[in-house]
């Protein structure tokens, strides 16, 4: 099968049954070998349809006749694919979007409804030609932003409280972009200029990322990552700009003992090893063995020797008490700062799941703080923007642990709160949403 729309439809059916978007997509791409252009189109249709689900449903609910709403979910999925192309993919000709969607309905046992599919999409187009917005939106700001940009109301409410309407709208727009790919150059095997030059010779466009000495951003279509020059030689790995910031905030030094307590799949662990010149000891802990295998593979490809792996929940480890110069707690979180990469995160997470994660984060911080020597450093980081998983965790920890204090980092290009933590807002910094704070264990520990 080499039809990108049909494979997108099959993938979306798997997602609707509960599969994670990236897992379902990879499974289908491995099963059906598509040419690069079709592969990119299929990936865009899947991620886009999942991201924009609420908006597409709202349009269908407003425009479709009642009998259509009583049809199987698969028909709605087909309408999602057609609408997504018409509304968000300007490079796809209108006739191609309509005709391929009608054909998709026919191929999937909806031959009797092809007239409805054609009529529905053309009704949308007629409205789009006469109105700037075929979708009718409510006045309520939460509902308005949630429907227009396809987010659940509770996420919009959190952002509105922190940012206000205009900034929340900019953040929504940013989160619906196709994500960029950032690379981190392995300074032990290569350098920024060498990688940049090699990519240029291969016809691949990249640009340096300001303030990140190892950062390059891909700005052209590249095909499979593992086929890019320097991958097999360990010259670089994929890591977003925000995640690169975390290891610089930790500021590890050669010869130190460092513990990464939630290490897999190893992006920050390997970065720490590079920053210490692979001279020291890094204990990389995680409870998921399969994800730790990826860490091992990454470390081997990058030729790093200072990493030692421990499988298990760091909340149960006592062998590390008072041995670490530095600890990194990149805590498991809701991922609300990376929803552009994880299309289904906005639908999978709930206020209840955030509450559960906050409890785990608090327990991890309380326990792993014991790993740090007096005078040592702990960096707490998440890729979420929810205060319950970030500011509240740190505020409560400091209340209960007066022998810890925040150290203010020196990152002039990112806003740092008066409280000392660093919160990266994606629409302002053009990188994944992150929260990070550096804590030091002072000498008056009891």
CA neighbor of 168 nearest in space, from 177, 181, 155: 155
- State the angle between helix axes of 36-51 and 4-16 in degrees (0 to 180), rounded to the nearest 10: 40
Radius of gyration of the chain (CA): 24
Token reading at 78: 């087909």
CA neighbor of 185 nearest in space, from 227, 236, 127, 148: 236
Other beta carbons within 10 Å of 424: 23
Annotated catalytic residue, options 172, 237, 262, 383: 383
Rounded-to-integer distance, Cα 219 and Cα 177, Å: 14
Token reading at 279: 């001279």
Write out the DSSP string of 59-105. Answer: HHHHHS-HHHHTS-HHHHHHHHHHHHHHHH-TTS-HHHHHHHHHHHH
Rounded-to-integer distance, Cα 150 and Cα 50, Å: 9
Q: Is 237 a catalytic residue?
A: no
Segments in 108-191 forming alpha helices (H): 114-130, 141-149, 153-163, 165-175
- In which element (H, E) is residue 184 found? strand 181-185
Reported residue count of the chain is 446
- Exposed / middle / buried, residue 31 (Cβ in 10 Å: 0-12, 13-18, 19+): exposed
- In which element (H, E) is residue 301 found? helix 289-301
Name, in order, each residue with C-beta under 8 angstroms of 177's C-beta and a sequence gap of 6 or more. 340
Other beta carbons within 10 Å of 174: 17
What positions carry a catalytic annotation?
A: 383
């Amino acid at each position: 099968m080499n039809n990108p729309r049909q494979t997108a439809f099959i993938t979306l059916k798997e997602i609707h049954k509960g599969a994670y978007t990236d897992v379902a997509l990879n499974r289908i791409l491995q099963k059906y070998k598509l040419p690069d252009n079709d592969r990119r189109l299929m990936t865009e249709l899947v991620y886009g349809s999942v991201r924009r689900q609420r908006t597409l449903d709202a349009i269908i609910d407003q425009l479709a006749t009642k009998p259509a709403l009583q049809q199987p979910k698969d028909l709605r999925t087909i309408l999602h694919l057609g609408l997504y192309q018409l509304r968000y993919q300007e490079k796809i000709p209108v006739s191609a979007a309509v005709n391929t969607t009608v054909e998709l309905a026919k191929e999937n046992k909806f031959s009797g409804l092809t007239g409805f599919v054609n009529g529905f999409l053309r009704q949308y187009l007629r409205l789009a030609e006469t109105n700037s917005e075929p979708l009718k939106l409510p006045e309520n700001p939460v509902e308005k932003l949630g429907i227009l940009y396809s987010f659940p109301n509770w996420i919009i409410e959190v952002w509105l409280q922190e940012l206000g309407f205009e900034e929340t709208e900019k953040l929504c727009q940013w989160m619906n972009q196709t994500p960029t790919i950032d690379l981190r150059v392995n300074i032990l095997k290569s350098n920024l200029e060498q990688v940049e030059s090699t990519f240029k010779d291969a016809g691949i466009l990249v640009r340096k990322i300001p303030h990140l000495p190892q950062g390059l951003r891909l700005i052209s279509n590249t095909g499979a990552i593992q086929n890019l020059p320097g991958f097999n030689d360990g010259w670089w790995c994929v890591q977003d700009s925000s995640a690169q910031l975390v290891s610089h905030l930790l500021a590890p030094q050669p010869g130190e003992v460092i513990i990464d307590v939630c290490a897999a799949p190893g992006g920050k662990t390997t970065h720490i090893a590079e920053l210490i010149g692979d001279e020291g000891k890094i204990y990389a802990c995680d409870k998921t063995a399969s994800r730790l295998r990826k860490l091992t593979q990454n470390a081997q490809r990058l030729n790093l020797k200072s990493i030692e792996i421990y499988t298990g929940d760091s909340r149960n480890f006592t062998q590390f008490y008072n041995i670490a110069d530095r600890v990194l707690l990149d805590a498991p979180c809701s991922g609300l700062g990376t929803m552009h990469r994880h299309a289904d995160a906005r639908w999978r997470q709930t206020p209840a799941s955030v509450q559960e994660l906050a409890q785990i984060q608090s327990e991890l911080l309380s326990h792993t703080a014991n790993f740090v020597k007096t005078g040592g450093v702990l960096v707490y980081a998440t890729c979420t923007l929810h205060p319950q998983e970030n500011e509240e965790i740190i505020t409560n920890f400091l209340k209960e642990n007066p022998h810890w204090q925040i150290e203010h980092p020196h990152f002039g290009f990112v806003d740092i709160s008066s409280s000392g933590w660093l919160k990266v807002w994606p629409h302002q910094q053009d990188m994944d949403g992150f929260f990070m704070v550096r804590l030091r264990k002072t000498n008056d520990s009891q």
